[in-house]
Amino acid sequence: MIEELSMTALAPSIDKPNEKNIQTKVTAISVTARIDYVLKFSKQLVLAVDDNAQSYSAVASQYLSTLGQSPEKSEQALNVAFVSASTKLNDIQMRCRIIEQLFANTLFDPEQSLAVSIIKLANQQQQDITIVLDHAQALSLQLKYELSQLVAISSKAKLAINVVLFASQDAVRDIVTNKELFKGKLTIVDANSGQIIKASQQQFPDNSKLISPATLYKISLAVLALLLFTALSYFAISQYEEFSLANLPDKAIELGSEAKPAAQEKMQVSNVEQQELTVAELSESVDIAVAVADESASVHNDMSKAELESPIEQASNEEIVSAIVAGALQVETAEVISADTSDVLQALTHSELTSKVVASESHDLDANYYLDTGNGYTVQIAGFAKLELWQKFIDEHKELALYSYKRKFADSQMIVVTTEVFATKTEASQALSSLPEQIKSRGPWIKANSAIVGEINTFKQ
Contact 76, 41 (CB under 8 A): no
Report the distance separating Cα 383 and Cα 414, nearest Å.
6
Name, in order, each residue with C-beta under 8 angstroms of 142's C-beta and a sequence gap of 6 or more: 91
Kindly report, residue by residue over 218-237, the tens digit of the pLDDT: 899 999 999 999 999 988 88
Kindly state the average pLDDT of the residues 304-310.
45
Q: Are residues 90 and 178 both part of a single domain?
A: yes
Does 1 map to a domain? Answer: no
The pLDDT value given to residue 179: 84
Q: Are residues 106 and 177 both part of a single domain?
A: yes
Residue 38 has pLDDT above 60, yes or no: yes
Does 246 map to a domain? Answer: no
Instruction: Give the domain CATH number at 400.
Output: 3.30.70.1070
Q: Are residues 414 and 283 both part of a single domain?
A: no
The residues pairing with 89 across neighbouring beta strands, listed in sequence order, are none
Does 20 map to a domain? Answer: yes
- Dihedral pair phi/psi, residue 316, rounded to 5°: -85, 175
The pLDDT value given to residue 323: 58
- Dihedral pair phi/psi, residue 404, rounded to 5°: -135, 155
Q: Are residues 174 and 40 both part of a single domain?
A: yes
Task: Give the residue numbers spanning the domain of 444.
Answer: 367-460
Please, which pLDDT band fits residue 138 given cuts at 50, 70 and 90? very high
Q: Longest Cα pair distance anywhere in the chain, in angstroms?
A: 184
Q: Are residues 41 and 182 both part of a single domain?
A: yes
Q: Are residues 34 and 179 both part of a single domain?
A: yes
User: What sign does the CA torsion over 184, 190, 194, 195 have?
Assistant: negative
Does 248 map to a domain? Answer: no
The pLDDT value given to residue 37: 87
Q: Are residues 234 and 145 both part of a single domain?
A: no
Chain CA centroid to CA 410, Å: 46
Does 253 map to a domain? Answer: no
How many C-alpha atoms does 132 have within 13 Å on its Cβ side?
21
Does 446 map to a domain? Answer: yes
Kindly state the average pLDDT of the residues 372-379.
90
Residue 115 has pLDDT above 50, yes or no: yes
Helix or strand (DSSP H, E) at 27? helix 23-41
Alpha helix segments (H runs only) across 243-381: 250-257, 259-309, 317-337, 341-360, 367-373
Kindly report, residue by residue over 13-31, the tens digit of the pLDDT: 333 444 444 444 444 457 8
Please, which pLDDT band fits residue 133 given cuts at 50, 70 and 90? very high
How many C-alpha atoms does 40 have within 13 Å on its Cβ side?
11
Per the prediction, the chain carries an average pLDDT of 74
Q: Are residues 136 and 64 both part of a single domain?
A: yes
Does 316 map to a domain? Answer: no
Does 203 map to a domain? Answer: no
Kindly state the average pLDDT of the residues 382-398.
89
The pLDDT value given to residue 344: 43
Q: Are residues 350 and 373 both part of a single domain?
A: no
Report the distance separating Cα 123 and Cα 118, nearest Å.
8
The pLDDT value given to residue 8: 33
Taking the model in full, what pTM does it have? 0.41
Instruction: Give the domain CATH number at 41.
Output: 3.40.50.300
The pLDDT value given to residue 236: 84
Residue 379 has pLDDT above 90, yes or no: yes
Kindly report, residue by residue over 434-456, the tens digit of the pLDDT: 999 888 888 898 999 999 998 88
Q: Are residues 127 and 63 both part of a single domain?
A: yes
Contact 95, 169 (CB under 8 A): no
Kindly state the average pLDDT of the residues 64-74.
68
Q: Are residues 351 and 383 both part of a single domain?
A: no
Q: How many domains does the chain have?
A: 4
- Over its C-alpha atoms, the chain yields an Rg (Å, rounded) of 59
Chain CA centroid to CA 243, Å: 17
Residue 109 has pLDDT above 80, yes or no: yes
Kindly report, residue by residue over 202-221, the tens digit of the pLDDT: 556 555 555 667 788 889 99
Percent of the residues in the chain that have a pLDDT greater than 90, as a whole number: 26
Side-by-side strand order, sheet with 78-84: 78-84, 128-134, 161-167, 45-49, 186-190, 196-197
Q: Are residues 328 and 404 both part of a single domain?
A: no
